Structure 1
Amino acid sequence: MRNLLLFSVLFLLAGCAAYTRYQLDQHYGLENPARFDHPAITATSVTYRHDVKPITDSRCAVCHGCFDAPCQLQMGSYEGITRGATKEKIYDDLRLFLMAPSRLFTDAQSNTEWRSKDFYPVLNERNPDTVANREAGVMARMLALKGRHSFPKSGLLPTERFDFSLYRTESCPAIEEFDQYADAHPEWGMPYGLPALSNKEQQTLQTWLEAGAPVEAARPLAKNQLDRVAQWEGFLNGASLKSQLMSRYIFEHWFLAHLYFDDLGEGEHEFFELVRSKTPPGRPIQLIATRRPFDDPHVPRVFYRLRPAQGSLLAKTHNPYALNAARMQRIKSWFIDEPYRVAQLPSYEPGIAANPFVAFEQLPVRSRYRLMLEEAQFTIMGFIKGPVCRGQVAINVINDYFWVGFLDPDHPIQESQKFLATTLKQLELPIGEENFTGLLKWRSYAREETNYLHAKSKLMNTVLVGNNLTNLSMLWDGDGNNPNAALTVFRNFDSASVVQGLVGEQPQTAMILGYPLLERIHYLLVAGFDVFGTVAHQLQARLYMDFLRMEGEFNVLALLPVEARNTVRDRWYRNAADEVYAHLDDSQALFFQQSGIVYKTD
């Protein structure tokens, strides 16, 4: 009986929506999804970039600016607004099957395409007249709804009327559902749960919407920016196999970066994204959109292109990376000038492409490490920001406060790092597993990681003896002038930040990372992490990161006196599960060499 009642209610609601859509069609004409693909230029006193975008940036984009935007409505760009919204959630703890990616500027190139992917408009796509623009657009109706109802001036908002929890049920009304939404939730106008826009802001947006949401042409890039783009695209698209493999490696580490040219002076900072294209420099970019940056591009030759970053810059997505002549020269010295040979380019077959120790084994280990190390703050921020926007998803496997140091790429210990990188060719990361059968391999992953740590400890016991005991000379000092030599990570539940230097008092824990560990973290949590993947994939990535975090902490313990290691370890892992202690005992007790540091305190 309950199922019949539920079906009846759903049928009734669907019928109401269909009737409302019919009425909208009669009053305002049929929808035209292509209307805003090439919007007409309308004479109006309000412009998008000068008047509207500052308002949406300050009042809308913080919530509606990333993958965690309610209803996937992204308001940090004109294209995000015209794309509209969808009822499908990206962050779904119960997702058992892969979700089709819905990355703005990537997975569809027109609003017509987005409509085929179940996105509906929030602007009026019917007749382009003032009344229709006001009455047949969700955005205009949401703003008007907010203006019609008073909002509490102080105090906490009542939880029975406003839900701000991360996994709340979202309300995503299309225009044909808006009347029912407004009747049921008259206080849920936009901005939701926040004070209304000022009268001036409200009038600006209303004028713009009633004029048909026009947009002016984008400002063209300055000649000096175009010149820099040409220089870097020329560098990244060399014909030699060395150059092609170098660029593939760079792309897989920079694909989320906001690149900029820091040698053009203040006020000249435009941000760019590195993308894969079917077309070479000098021709319009034909984007190669794949789920992950190492997936098969299905073209004979990939070209690496710089396109302007679009949309508002948000703290949860903005990870800047400076390009200049000195950096190009260093990269050239690491990857082009080094005396090594690339016999053939690696395959994009998943078992190869998903394992950087296999795909890039022909590139010098020191060169790979240097690329990540010299901008270590950017590299570490990658797995905190990375391909996710909801911080709790990104950082629930790190501590609240810890320091990070790095092994010196020029220390003799790096020879062992090369050995470890070779050993890791046999170690599988849980990147491609998207179903729950992958969870059955968990013991296999744990066993492989333990075997790797055994091999690492055996090597360390062989190498770090006599005059080569563990000591501070093993740590990178930033070559005397690079502030990325030491980092501090702060976490506050679902957000985190990385700052240069050892900041604050003695932290909860610390990590020391060498090339193999830094590379695995990047491919596990950045290049290989699929925010559109299944809960099984995401769970495995987070569980595996526990292994990598403990390995980094083990490297710190190796610098302590033998007699102090267990005491410090037990303090770090107090109240940990029994299996964690078993893993620690099994892997860490195998390194028994004394530290070469002379400690003067207890």
Structure 2
Amino acid sequence: MPQLTTYFATLLLASVFSTTAKAASDPAAAERVLEQRCIVCHGCYDAPCQLKLEANEGLVRGGTLAPIYDGTRLRAADLTRLFDDAQSEQEWRAKGFHPVIDREAPEQGVMYRLLELKQENPLPTNEDLTRDFDFSLYRDQTCPTQEEFDSYAREHPLWGMPYGLPGLNQDEHNTLISWLEEGAPAASMDALSAQQQATLQHWETFLNTDDKRSQLVARYLYEHLFLASLYLEVEEQPAWFRLIRSRTGPGQPIDVIATRRPYDDPGAGHFYYRLQRMPTAPLAKTHMPYRLDQARLEEYRELFLGDPWQLDTLPGFDAATTSNPFKRFEAIPVAARYRFLLGEAQFTIMNFIKGPVCRGQIALNVIDDHFWVMFANPDKLDPVEDANFLAREMDNLYLPEPRTGTLLDLLSWRKYAKANRSYHEARAQYIEKELNRDERKLDLDAIWDGDGNNANAALTIFRHFDTASVVKGFVGETPKTAWVISYPLLEKIHYLLAAGFDVYGAVAHQLESRLYMDFLRMEGEFNFLMYLPADERPKLWNYWYRDAPHGARKYFDDSSELSARPSDIEFQTSDPKNELLQTLRGRIHGATAKRYDYHSQASSVTTEALRKLELATGAHNSFLPQVSFLNVISEQRDEAYTLIANSGYSNIAQLFKEQKRRIPAEDSLTVVSGFIGAYPNYFFQVNEKQIPLFAAEVQAMESLGDLAELKARYGVRRDVPWFWHLSDKLHRISREQDGIEFGLFDYNRYAAQ
């Protein structure tokens, strides 16, 4: 039984008597309740029953039993992307989606009855919810139709909505019920300002300019921005857009061209690039804000078209052309492409870290749980950026072509591996040759410092088992590994794991993508090792790849000539890896990540306790959830922190048997101010006076039983009456701290107990 302080009791009363909704007939009020109580479970691609409530269009579409994530799928699934693959309710019915609202008899609608069922059968508190609920991520879906609902209610009386969470308070419930009775009308979007309209027109004019150079640049921009949450101006309530291809031009209603991938053939006839306004709530998992104002338009006009370059013929959309972005965009200067990707490097990486992959264990067990990323300096003529070198090696840089076959094509995989090896052999020889010139060195200046003003130059990536996060700055203690990314590597990451990755694809496509990512990870790690003393490189590589397959060790051996070259950096300590990373942390703009640094924000008591947690590497961290939000309270303070559990592995170069490679003794904990992670696994709420005790109990854990006791004292179970009050508070704090980057959390991974 949690120890409720007077403060907690106050929270409980506040949640019982809260009146968050306005007038019951106000669609905007209903939309706010949907955001706070419904979208937090029905938002991403893996929303239960594919019922995505981030927009009214998702409610109209309804639900289906057909899963998007299926690890046994031998052939690609039918596409069911909201806003893309059907444009009317009738088209969605033809794709197998059943309605969840009934405009003729609203009280018979599935959503209406699920809300009523919860009111009639409130969630019991302080009981073992696993007796009545299945919270596993891959649980069988139960998606009752209107005709099946009576049977569903008899068999599962506690399965009203919100599923496995406290019900809505009376005001919230009345707001949604009245709204459903009126046919669930969509809230109207605010009209665009005159400035927004002008900016929109200028961008669509730029993207549809007729000359060949402009057309190729527009295609390049589209293939890199198709997942972006675009905004034209920074406002309190920004209007969100996405970049799409349309059969109709500017000034006309949009007619979306939906292809499986952004580089697929759009079909016969002329097409246009358009900015489509999106009536969606931002979700932390998929929200990737990207500024598209007038200043950026001028910046890109100068970047891509300011210098003369020639283009006689536009590349086509045949398979041979689309499979290799290096060939497709060869005419655009490499420096312009690299500068474009670097300018918003977090967004570039975020495309594969966030994007539509809501469940990515196969895709993500190819990266470590915590590592730092930096980039080759575009002003130092890094040899792998050299246009002539890339032109010669483009055939060896091609990526696996997404297919819908039934088996993993081992012959194709060997062909990819052979081509990749040829590229790296040529790259090693070329770098060795070019580094003999005085102007090219592998020193600190060879790593991009952000030009003194761009915080995208240093990134931290966290893997949370089957999801991940990427943030600006070097966050946490010195990680086990680090990457240095050059232009070709950055482009390959985008096209393999964002533009070319198909969440609806067959298992063969997903496995091939994961296997190819091994090469990309090793390339980034090897790039970093080149800045360390030559005798340190094999030691670290062997440590990172303990018990790894022969292929991982061979990657290093294939570049042995280059790996023996001395570093151009003089080291002063016996730990050059830590020395280099800490030097770069002080050198690269924004690398100190002050936004996440709790030291300058928390009280001395809280700071000392959190610092002890971070410094205590060991198996006790293995019992913590992957991502926990910690709310520290006192009479003067109400603060939010994130505890990120980083799992240790002997290596991550193997697809299967992940648990056999686990090394709990190497598990660590990263603590940050604010929020990192779209899927909180648990909330802890601790009085500031109890923080030292909380930290001590975390470090003393030896079993799951100890974790259960920790949760009993400080945890917030999903069935406690004040759950929604705390959820609202954390979202409010996140909105205040994160601004334009704010997105709703997803509770599909919240612990059962």
Normalising by structure 2, what TM-score? Answer: 0.71
Residue identity in the other structure for 1:528:
G
Once residues 86 and 311 of structure 2 are traced to their aligned partners in structure 1, the CA distance between those partners, rounded to angstroms, is: 36
Mark the CA change 1:597 to 1:521 in structure 2 (over 3 Å): closer, same or farther.
same
Deviation at 1:505, TM superposition (A): 2.2
Matched, 1:490 2:462: yes
Deviations along 1:70-100, whole A, 9 cap, x unmatched? 1100111111111100110000011111111
Deviations 1:95-134 (A, max 9, x none): 1111111111111111011001111100115xx2xxx210
Question: Offset at 1:598?
Answer: 0.8
**Structure 1 residue 592, shift from structure 2 partner:** 2.4
Which stretch of the first structure deviates more once superposed, 425-434 or 52-61?
A: 425-434
Question: CA offset at residue 307 of structure 1?
Answer: 1.2
Deviation at 1:418, TM superposition (A): 2.5
| Cα contact 1:84–1:121 (8 A) shared by 2 | yes
- Aligned counterparts of 1:194 and 1:169: Cα–Cα separation in 2: 19
Counterpart of 1:97, as a letter, is: R
Aligned-partner Cα distance in 2 for 1:347–1:96: 30
Greater shift in the superposed pair: 108-117 or 483-492: 483-492
Aligned residues: 550
Q: Structure 2: how far apart are the matches of 1:209 and 1:326?
A: 43
Measured at CA, do residues 394 and 226 of structure 1 come closer, stay the same or move farther in structure 2, by a change above 3 Å? farther
CA, structure 1 residues 581+413, in 2 after alignment: closer, same or farther (shift >3 Å)?
same
Give the whole-Å Cα distance in 1 for the aligned partners of 2:410 and 2:134: 33
Displacement, 1:415? 6.5
- Residues 205 and 226 of structure 1, relative CA distance in 2, 3 Å threshold: same
- Deviation of 1:281 after TM superposition, in Å, equals 1.1
Percent identical among aligned pairs is 48
Distance verdict in 2 for CA 1:505–1:284, change over 3 Å: same
Residue in 1 aligned with 2:77?
99
Structure 1 residues 284 and 340: alpha-carbon distance in aligned structure 2, compared to 1, 3 A threshold = same
Q: Does the alignment pair 1:581 with 2:553? A: yes
Superposed, 1:331-370 pairs within 5 Å as 331-370=300-339
- The whole-number CA distance in structure 2 between the counterparts of 1:96 and 1:251 is 30
Letter in 1 for 2:488: P
Q: Which runs of 5+ in 2 are unaligned?
A: 1-21, 575-753
Partner of 1:469: 441
Distance 1:211 1:226 in 2: 32
Task: List aligned pairs for 1:307-322, cutoff 5 A.
Answer: 307-322=276-291
CA positional deviation for 1:208:
1.7
CA displacement, residues 391-432 of structure 1 (integer Å, 9 cap, x when unaligned): 535533211111111111121224654244321334331232
Q: 1:243-267: per-residue Cα shift (whole Å, max 9, x none)?
A: 00000000000000011124xx532
- In 2: Cα distance, 1:268 partner to 1:166 partner: 33
Partner of 1:19: none
Alpha-carbon distance in structure 2 between the residues aligned to 1:307 and 1:53? 21
State the partner residue of 1:252: 223
Q: Can you list the C-alpha shifts for 1:328-381, whole angstroms capped at 9, x where unaligned?
A: 222112211211111111010122113101111111111111111110011111
Q: Deviations over 1:120-173 (max 9, x none)?
A: 100115xx2xxx2102x1111111222222322235522x42111121111111
Matched, 1:456 2:456: no
Q: 3-state DSSP class of the match of 2:129?
A: coil
For 1:198, the equivalent position in structure 2 comes to 169
| 1:433 aligned to which of 403, 407, 414 | 403
Question: What is the rounded CA distance, in whole Å, between the counterparts of 2:466 and 2:384 in structure 1?
Answer: 38
Q: Which amino acid aligns with 2:332?
A: L
Instruction: Give the match for residue 275 of structure 1.
Output: 244
Shift of 1:298: 1.1
* 2:298 matches 1:329: yes
Aligned counterparts, 1:189-588, within 5 A: 189-262=160-233, 266-267=235-236, 269-392=238-361, 394-414=363-383, 416-422=385-391, 423-435=393-405, 436-465=407-436, 467=438, 468-588=440-560
CA contact (8 A) 2:24 2:174 kept: no
Aligned to 1:134: 107
Given that residues 450 and 587 in structure 1 are in contact (C-alpha distance below 8 angstroms), is that contact kept between their aligned partners in structure 2? Answer: no
TM-score using structure 1 length: 0.88
Matches within 5 A, 1:57-72: 57-72=35-50
Check 1:401–1:455 CA distance in 2 against 1; reply closer, same or farther (3 A cut): same
How far did 1:217 drift? 4.0
Q: Offset of 1:196 from its aligned partner?
A: 1.1
Counterpart contact for 2:484–2:524, Cα < 8 Å: yes
Shift of 1:216: 4.8
User: Against the structure 1 CA distance between its residues 83 and 583, is the aligned structure 2 distance closer, same or farther, given a 3 Å change threshold?
Assistant: same
On the 8 A contact 1:461/1:591 being kept in 2, the answer is no
CA contact (8 A) 2:358 2:467 kept: no
Paired AA for residue 165 in structure 2: L
Whether contact under 8 Å (1:439, 1:540) holds in the other structure is: no
Stretch of structure 1 that moved more, 448-457 or 216-225: 216-225
Query: Relative to structure 1, is the Cα distance of residues 415 and 449 closer, same or farther in structure 2, using a 3 angstrom cutoff?
Result: closer
- Distance between the aligned counterparts of 2:496 and 2:547, measured in 1? 26
Residues 48-90 of structure 1, C-alpha deviations (whole Å, 9 max, x = no match): 6422111111111122112101110011111111110011000
Aligned to 1:53: 31
Change (3 A) 1:560 1:223: same
The 3-state SS of whatever aligns with 2:46 is: coil
The 1:216–1:269 alpha-carbon spacing in structure 2 relative to 1, beyond 3 Å, is closer
The range that moved more, 59-68 or 486-495, is 486-495
* Structure 1 letter corresponding to 2:172: E
Which position in structure 1 is the counterpart of 2:629?
none
Q: Using a 3 Å threshold, how does the CA distance of structure 1 residues 197 and 565 change in structure 2: closer, same or farther? A: same
